[in-house]
Structure 1
Amino acid sequence: MDSNTRKQDVLKVLIETFVHTNQPVGSVQVAEQLPYEVSSATVRNDMAEMTELGLLEQPHTSAGRVPTDLGYRHYVKRLTRERKELSQHQREVLSRHFRNLRNLQEKYRVAARLLAELSGNVGFLMDDTRNVYLSGFSNMARLPEFSDESFRVKLMEALEHPEELVQNLAGTIRPGGMNVLIGDSPRMKKATIVISNFGPQGKRVISIIGPTRMHYRKALPLIEYMKEILDEM
C-alpha cells in the first residue's frame, strides 16, 4: 500500500473517531481501527506530517490530534467520490412519511423535521417564496459545541435571518448539486452547512446546519435523497 492511501485512511479513521468522541485522537487509537496492520509509530509520523500540512492540529502538547476545517474538507471530498447512499430500507422509511400528505407546506415541515431528527443537527428548508422551515434547535443545544458562547450566538443570529444567510452563501453554492460548506460562512466560522437546491430552477433550498464535527457519512446521503423526494413533489 502506498503512503498516500494510508494517510487518507488515517485521516478518515481519525475524523470519524473524533466525531464520535469529541476528544483528541492518538496514533494508537487510529492504528487499532485501520483495516490492515500498521504500527502506531508509522501512524504517528503520518499524523505529524498532516499536522504540518494543516489537515490536523494538536490542541495540547501531550494530546492527540483533531481535524481542521481543511482536514474535514479533504475527508468530505473522499466521501463524495465514494457516493455512499441510503439503504433501500432507509429510503422506504423516509418516503413513507410523505405518502399521506397533501399540503406542500406540511411536506416541507416534515422534511425539515426529518433532516433534523436523522442528522442530529438543524434541518432547514426555504421555498421559492422565502418561507422558512426550521427544526432541531434542541439537537444543537445538546451538543458540546453549543457551550461555546461565540459559536452559540453566531449560530442563533444566522438562523434568525435565514434569507440573509442563503444570500451570503449564494456565490459558493453550486447549482443543481449538493454543497458542503465547512467554516465558509463569515458568520458561522465553526459550523458546517450541507446544502442543496431543489425544485423548479433550483430556487428552493434544503440544508443541514451543525458544527464542523458533523456525522458527514450520515448527513450527505440524507440531503441527497431528501432532494430526490422533494424534486418529485
Structure 2
Amino acid sequence: MSSEDRRLDVLRAIIEDYVATREPVGSRALSERHQLGVSPATIRNDMAALEEAGLIVQPHTSAGRVPTDMGYRQFVDRLAEVKPLSLPERRAISALLEQAVDLDDVIDRAVRLLAQLTQQVAVVQYPSLRRSSLRHVELVPVGARHLLVVIITTTGRVEQRTLELPEDLDEALVARLRVRLNVALSGLRLAELSQALESLVAELSPAGAALVRVVVAAVSETLAQESEERVVVAGTANLARTAGADFSRTIGPVLEALEEQVVLLRLLAEMAEDHTAVAVRIGRETQHAGLAETSFVTSGYGGEGSGVARVGAVGPLRMDYPGTMAAVRAVARYLTRILAG
C-alpha cells in the first residue's frame, strides 16, 4: 500500500470516528479502534501530513483532529460506489410510497420517509412542469359555455383550468379535438407544446381553431407560472436532535436558509448539472453563508439523467455520507418507478 493510500485510510478512520463520537480524534484512538496495520508513530506522521494538506485540523489544544471541508470532499470522492440499503429498508420504502393515492401524497410520504431514514432534514422538489412531458390532455364541457382543460404529465402532475367561452360549446367538436390534441401532443415536453399546438391550429376548421387557441392560451399560462417550482421540507427537528457543540450554534442560520425556497431551488438546479447518480455539496460549496456548516446530498428522480426534480438531505458536515447517499438514491429510484407507473 502506498503512503497516499495509507493516509486516505487514516482520513477515512478519522471521519468515521468523528461522525460516531462527535469528538476530535487522536492517534491513540485510531490505533486502538482501527486495524490500520501501522504503528502509532506512523499514524501520527500520517495525521501530520493530512493536516499539512488541509484535510484535517486541530480545533483546539487537544491532541485530537477533525476533518475539514476538503477532507470530507476527499472522502466522498473516494467512495467507490454508493452502498445499497438493506432489504428491509428497501421493502419499507416500497411499501410506504406505493400506498400513496396521488402526487401530493407521494411527495409527502417521500420527504417524511427520507427524514426518518437519514435522521436529517429531507428536501423533495416537486416535478417541474418545464421538464415534464405530457401524458394526456382532457377537455371536459362543464356547462354551455365553460370548458375544463386538464393537463396530466408523465410525472403525475395534474393542472387544470376552467375556461369561459364566448359561444356555446359543440360537444362533438370537443370530442374530436380531444383526440387530435392527444395524438399530436402526447410525449412532448411541456415547453414544446405551444409550437405543436400552433401547428395543429393550422389544420383545423375555423371553429376548431378558435377553440384550440383558447386551449393554447390556457396551457401557456400554466407553463409561465413560476409558483410551480417548489420544494417540501421535513425533519428540521433532527438538526437539534443530532447537533453537537460544533453545530448547535449554526442551527438558526441553517433553518433560515431552509425556509427560503429560492435558496433551495437554486442549489437543486445547480446540483442537477452534476451528472453523477448522487451529488454532494459540502460546507462552503453550497455558496450560502447559512449553510456553510452543512452538507447537501441530492439525487434526481422522474426521468433520464438528472431527472425532472431532485430529492435530498441536509445535515451537519459530520454526517454519515455513505448511509445518507444510499438513502437519497434509494428514495429517488422508488419515486421514479412510482411516477412512471
Q: TM-score, normalised by structure 1?
A: 0.91
Aligned with residue 182 of structure 1, among 282, 292, 295: 282
Aligned to 1:75: 75
Task: Give, in whole Å, the separation in 1 of the partners of 2:94 and 2:287.
Answer: 35
Range 23-32 or range 99-108, more displaced: 99-108
Flag the structure with larger Rg. 2
Aligned to 1:42: 42
Task: Give, in whole Å, the separation in 1 of the partners of 2:276 and 2:75.
Answer: 22
The structural deviation recorded for 1:90 is: 2.0
Superposed, 1:185-200 pairs within 5 Å as: 185-187=286-288, 188-200=291-303
Q: Is the 8 A contact 2:279 2:297 kept in 1?
A: yes
Aligned to 1:205: 310
Identity percentage of aligned residues: 37
Higher RCO (CA < 8 A, seq sep 6+): 2
Aligned to 2:262: 163
Moved runs in structure 1, 4+ residues, more than 6 A? none
Q: TM-score, normalised by structure 2?
A: 0.64
Q: Is the 8 A contact 2:280 2:296 kept in 1?
A: yes
Task: Give, in whole Å, the separation in 1 of the partners of 2:238 and 2:332.
Answer: 22
For structure 1, the 5+ residue unaligned runs are none
Q: Measured at CA, do residues 212 and 64 of structure 1 come closer, stay the same or move farther in structure 2, by a change above 3 Å?
A: same
How many equivalent residue pairs? 230
Q: Measured at CA, do residues 112 and 2 of structure 1 come closer, stay the same or move farther in structure 2, by a change above 3 Å?
A: same
Aligned to 2:27: 27
For structure 2, the 5+ residue unaligned runs are 129-227
Question: Is 1:225–2:330 an aligned residue pair?
Answer: yes
Task: Give, in whole Å, the separation in 2 of the partners of 1:191 and 1:78.
Answer: 20
Residue aligned with 2:286, SS: coil
Paired AA for residue 111 in structure 1:
A
Aligned to 1:63: 63
Deviations 1:49-82 (A, max 9, x none): 0000000001123321000000001111122x13
Residue aligned with 1:85, SS: coil
The structural deviation recorded for 1:34 is: 2.5
Paired AA for residue 167 in structure 1:
R
Task: Give, in whole Å, the separation in 1 of the partners of 2:264 and 2:91.
Answer: 32
Paired AA for residue 87 in structure 1:
S
The structural deviation recorded for 1:45 is: 0.6
